[in-house]
Chain A
Amino acid sequence: MHYKRPKADVVIVGLGWSGSTMAEELTRAGLNVVAIERGAWRETSTSFPTTRNPDELSGSIRKEILQAPVTETYTVRNKPEETALPLRKYHNLTLGNNVGGAGTHWAGASWRWQPFDHQPYSHVMKRYGPKQLVDGLILQDWGVTYDDLEPFYDRFEKIAGTSGTAGVINGVKQPGGNPFEGSRQSPYPTPALARTRANILFADAATRLGYTPFPVPSAMIGAPYTNALGINLAPCTYCGYCQLYGCGNWSKSSPNICILPVLMQRSNFTVVTESEVVRINTSSDKKTATGVTFVDSDGNTGEQPADIVIVATFTLDNTRLLLLSGISTPYDVSSGQGVVGRAFTFQTLSWAFMFFENEYLNPFMNTGALATQIDDFNGDNFDHTGLGFIGGAGIQSLCNQGLPIGMSGLVPEGSPKWGKGWKQAFQKSYQNYAQIQGQGTSFAHREQFMDLDPTYKDRFGQPLLRITYNYNENDRRSGQFIRDKCVEIAKEMGARDVTGVSLADQPYSGYTPWDSSHVQGGVVMGEDPKTSVQNRYQQNWDIPNLFVIGASSFPNNAGYNPTVAVGATTLWTAKAIKELYLKNPGPLVRL
């Protein structure tokens, strides 16, 4: 059966963080908004009750909260001359599969990106010149600056109830915070989380080495808080069932607790769940988007016409949906021309793993983002002259795991993995294991891109998205530099057994343990239609009533988690739609 729903002012594809943030803004402005969501409805009391939630097997082991590869997956290869193969099993890109998206199960690190991260090209050219860039690296500014976005970062934090200690307020450095952060107009809405024993060992060691440790801003609410939409959020309880779990306590910021309780009161909002958008429809001249086509869970094909189309799916699926719909020019690796799928970035992760001798680190008391960090080697916070790379990493003592199955393999190298010897080793290592993560920047490269796979299809017979990616020379150099810093701090912490690793030293794999889930780009915003799909308002250069929002818009990846930057750019675009576009529908940037 094929059916057509009544026309809406706005259709939003995907109801995660960016979709629900946008929906709240536009419904408050009086627009009639329909969201189409592939996953099912999820609500805290029903879906994540505290009497059921503390269950490692269904949570972080069987990953029941994630979108499964059977629903949709990606094919991957390292180089254009290789054959891409599908990610058949759960992999490192932890996709959400429900109303709330990945914002329901995320770890919760809640960063504003630095001024450098929004204008990397200008910064690098000014400080070092073009010789600092390795061959093939793509570096470009976003067209929107940190100062443009600051009010929207501020607003998003006040929706999320972000916890943390401010480092710079109105240009004045604050004790205990990150001295490198962009200037803020107000402190974090809620106070920083308590530190664990491992966090304190790290902070003391980093201070002795001359660095400046500070608490990682997080989605774990630091104290009772009424957010910007009037919703009451509760303090985090450090239960340790956090990343890959929904929160049953109303303590981890998510669309489900921070936005949907208000949005679902508004009669001008509708969400159609368990329905997958398969195409953005356009007029025959390809200058107007007319709505979207979706397949619902009864197998029916539906159409949702709308005046404005907003695509807010998982970052990679934004690229795929444009390619499937024949919108804008696909990137061609051989010529370097085209824009959709270009400027794909990942992250470079480095680690120091360590074991102490006689600690009680009590790892079960944790959150997804219970961390103490130094930013002395992040972004452009240090002089890169002579180092041969740009970027760096946030280096942090991360206490995000204490569940027993996940910890069962974490025994010192050379220890038995089974038998009586394993039981003895595990008993000791459980209380003595700690880790330092370097979450590193990633810059786009000519040979890192996405297109449609020629062979593998999804359940509807549409091509899967193909990722062609390997670490570039900039990544390898920065990864090794950061690994050595992680090891330096781990040794200063007094650990007995320290192992350092830079993941960029091996070929990229979607299954590398300890790797990032943060992929970006493909539909980037920018200043030039030759190198970007959309203008500084995340508005398509060719189709003015089409906006693709999320981390797909970012042409480079920071040494930070992306969610709050996604929230800020979404609010920035919402304001442009409400105050500029609705008054005069058409391109908001004219060249």
Chain B
Amino acid sequence: MKRRDALKGGLVLLATSTLASIYKPAYSKTLVGGSGLWKAQPPPPLAVVDSSRLVFLTPDEAKLVGAIFDVLIPADELGMGATEAGCVTFLDHQLAGPFGSAAKDYKLGPVVEGLPQQGPQSIATPAEIYRKGLAELNRFSKKKFDKTFLDLDEAQKIEFLKNMENGTIDFETVKSRDFFTLLLQNVREGYLADPMYGGNRDMVGWKLIGFPGAVYDYRDWIVSKRGQKIDVQPVSLLRTA
């Protein structure tokens, strides 16, 4: 049955098989006042990323992402670089999950380009953009420099990424600027999200800016430390200080 045919006589009739796939794992509940069915349950445990193996990227892709990420957030006297901080691990797990598959996006057609203010209309997922974008990036690098991106020197890598950022590099299957935007967003996320997601090792990103992390009560400081530097050892949800 086509979606369009589902609307009949003002009553919505549905093909159960389709719905089951849309709805899992949510289930309707009827909660009656006074029954106690609604009372608190223990919260689910934290899910911690396992950094020992790749779950989406191939080893070659991971190496390439690492080389790009280390240009975007390099190691210097302010702290370690993106790869050492775990940003590739972070990305790998994000791409394997609902972020990678754009599970929350509206993907029904028709898919057409609109005015810029109407927002992104592409239904390509981050996982697809990375897979295609990384291949394009290497192809372009070999064509232009006769080297893979990994073998470029630092200045060439910076120049390459600047051209992606400006959209002056033409990729065939993805827009280089869109791919760059995604890379920059994800490396920052990996560097600054809670370490339980695989990045921000030793809370390096938080230490860079003096962010205290997973703290839930500042009543002692809101007035007493107003306008003052606070030397703080951040904490993560993993409770490692």
Contacts and interface: CB of A to CB of B under 8 A. Distances in A.
Contact of B12 (A237, A239, A462): A462
Given A85-B112, A430-B210, A76 B118 contact: yes
B14 A238 contact: no
A241 interface: yes
Given A46-B40, A88-B106, A297-B23, A265 B33 contact: yes
A313 interface: no
B7 interface: yes
A91 B119 contact: yes
Contacts of A265: 33-34
B115 interface: yes
A296 B19 CA distance: 10
A197 B229 CA distance: 12
Contacts of B106: 69-70, 73, 86-89
Given A56-B194, A298-B27, A457-B3, A417 B12 contact: no
Interface stretch (B136-144, B169-177, B185-193): B185-193
A119 interface: no
Contacts of A404: 192, 205-206, 209, 211
Contacts of A575: none
B59 interface: no
Given A46-B43, A365-B218, A419-B74, A360 B227 contact: yes
B54 interface: no
Contacts of A266: 33-34
A279 B11 contact: yes
A45 interface: yes
Judged by DSSP, the binding face of A is loop
Given A43-B40, A90-B104, A508-B117, A275 B216 contact: no
A271 B31 CA distance: 5
A431 interface: yes
B47 to A, nearest CB: 10
Given A76-B118, A408-B188, A241 B216 contact: yes
B179 to A, nearest CB: 14
A255 to B, nearest CB: 13
B189 A405 contact: yes
A269 interface: yes
B193 A57 contact: yes
Given A194-B223, A278-B12, A461-B7, A267 B189 contact: no
Contact of B117 (A68, A239, A275, A507): A507
A33 to B, nearest CB: 9
A295 to B, nearest CB: 6
A84 B112 CA distance: 11
A23 to B, nearest CB: 10
A494 to B, nearest CB: 13
A40 interface: yes
A88 B123 contact: yes
A362 B225 contact: yes
Interface residues of B, number: 94
Interface string B78-110: 110000000000000000001100111111101
A545 B158 CA distance: 66
Given A41-B29, A274-B28, A237 B11 contact: no
B41 interface: yes
B16 interface: yes
Given A87-B106, A89-B120, A263-B33, A360 B39 contact: no
Interface in A386-429: 402-405, 407-409, 417-420, 422-424, 426-427
B240 interface: no
B135 interface: no
Interface in A36-66: 40-41, 43-47, 49-57, 61-63
Contacts of A275: 28
B230 A360 contact: yes
A69 B229 CA distance: 41
A197 B29 contact: no
Interface in A190-244: 194, 196-197, 200, 235, 237-241
Contact of A298 (B5, B23, B112): B23
B215 interface: yes
B208 interface: yes
A404 B208 CA distance: 10
B167 interface: no
Contacts of B193: 55-57, 61, 405
B215 to A, nearest CB: 7
Contacts of A53: 216
Given A264-B38, A270-B31, A418-B184, A293 B11 contact: yes
B117 A509 contact: yes
Contact of B215 (A52, A239, A430): A239
Nearest to A423: B78
B226 to A, nearest CB: 5
A293 B73 CA distance: 53
A391 B165 CA distance: 41
Given A55-B237, A402-B211, A365 B222 contact: yes
Nearest to A240: B218
A89 B119 contact: yes
A40 B26 contact: yes
Contacts of B20: 298-299
Contacts of A44: 40
A248 B117 contact: no
B217 A43 contact: no
A83 B111 CA distance: 12
A269 B33 contact: yes
**Most chain A beta-carbon neighbours within 10 Å: one of B23, B120, B216:** B216
A299 B43 contact: no
Given A263-B33, A360-B230, A88 B120 contact: yes
Contact of A460 (B12, B27, B32, B212): B12
12 contacts: A54-B213, A63-B104, A238-B218, A272-B29, A279-B10, A295-B12, A299-B20, A359-B227, A417-B165, A420-B74, A420-B76, A457-B4
Interface of B: 3-7, 10-14, 16, 19-20, 22-23, 26-35, 38-43, 46, 71-74, 76, 78-79, 98-99, 102-108, 110, 112, 114-121, 123, 158, 161, 165, 184, 187-189, 192-194, 197, 205-206, 208-219, 221-223, 225-230, 237
Given A69-B105, A88-B121, 17 more contacts: A27-B33, A50-B216, A55-B193, A57-B193, A69-B106, A83-B114, A194-B222, A248-B216, A266-B33, A270-B31, A274-B29, A295-B19, A301-B11, A360-B230, A404-B205, A423-B74, A431-B210
The 7 closest A-B pairs by CB, nearest first: A299-B19, A68-B104, A509-B117, A296-B28, A45-B40, A269-B33, A461-B6
Interface of A: 1, 27, 40-41, 43-47, 49-57, 61-63, 68-70, 73, 76-78, 82-91, 194, 196-197, 200, 235, 237-241, 248-249, 260, 263-275, 278-279, 293, 295-299, 301, 326, 359-362, 364-365, 402-405, 407-409, 417-420, 422-424, 426-427, 430-431, 455-457, 459-462, 506-512
